[in-house]
Amino acid sequence: MQRTLVNIRFDEIVEGLNNRPVPRVNKTRTAAAFAIALCAGAAVVVTAQRIITNPQPEAHLKRLFPAAAAFSPLGGTPLHFKVYGADPKANAAAPVVGLAFWTTDLVPREQGYHGPIHVLVGMDMTGVLTGVVVDYDSEPYGYFSVQPPAFAAQFKGKSIRDPFRVGGDIDAVSRASLTIGSATRAIRDSSRAMAKAFLNPDAVKK
């Protein structure tokens, strides 16, 4: 069959493409790009895994440490706020007088009836709690279990060495035992984990 001019031209284009040299790949640049993408992906995963808490807890921090001069940003491992007795901007040797932390950062797997209970805990450098603030919960009975001020008030002045036992040194609440138990364990376990990471065992109050 006679080839038309269009067919001939198309064949020439295809042949030219097939004979075109393959561009060389810069393996170093490709590997670097892959590494950057991998790190970025890991950062996204870490961010996504963290239970997001109140981004502006300043009022809570002042409530837990009314005499504090300043607070550090949330950071470190485990995540926490440092509490200063003097302004570290004016005095580089300003003492750290306490620590504040979210239970959800220390024990993220601790769940109530309907999900994690967001509690901000304050602790001095002897392992004594300065207080707790229940910032958020989605518990069906939260309004008469962890939300009343009486629940949080029980923890102020407790040492990490105390038992934190519901029905013992922590009041039980009928119909909300799962919620009370979860919040209490979260406060106890996160406080002890922070003490283990940052406190001098000899300074912890017995």
65-108 confidence digits (pLDDT tens): 999 999 999 999 999 999 999 999 999 899 999 999 999 999 99
Q: Which stretches of 50-172 are DSSP H helices?
A: 58-64, 103-106, 149-153
Average pLDDT over residues 142-146: 97
81 and 30 fall within a common domain: no
- Minimal CA–CA distance to 130: which of 143, 140, 121? 121
31 and 133 fall within a common domain: no
Split at pLDDT 50, 70, 90, the class of 193 is very high
Split at pLDDT 50, 70, 90, the class of 38 is very low
Give Cα separations from 42 to 33, 35, 37, 45, 77 (angstroms). Answer: 14, 11, 9, 5, 17
Rg, Å, the chain Cα set: 29
116 and 70 fall within a common domain: yes
78 and 26 fall within a common domain: no
Give the pLDDT confidence score for residue 170 in this predicted structure.
98
165 and 92 fall within a common domain: yes
Give Cα separations from 147 to 62, 136, 177 (angstroms). Answer: 19, 9, 14
79 and 171 fall within a common domain: yes
94 and 185 fall within a common domain: yes
Split at pLDDT 50, 70, 90, the class of 137 is very high
73 and 168 fall within a common domain: yes
35 and 62 fall within a common domain: no
28 and 103 fall within a common domain: no
Q: How far apart are CA 105 and CA 128, in angstroms?
A: 19
45 and 65 fall within a common domain: no
Boundaries of domain holding 28: 5-49
pTM higher than 0.75: yes
34 and 85 fall within a common domain: no
Average model confidence (pLDDT) across the chain? 84
If one counts the domains in the chain, the total is 2
Residues with Cβ within 8 Å of residue 186, at least 6 apart in sequence: 103, 104, 106, 107, 110, 116, 117, 119
Strand partners, 69: none
- Whether 64 and 120 have beta carbons less than 8 Å apart is answered as yes
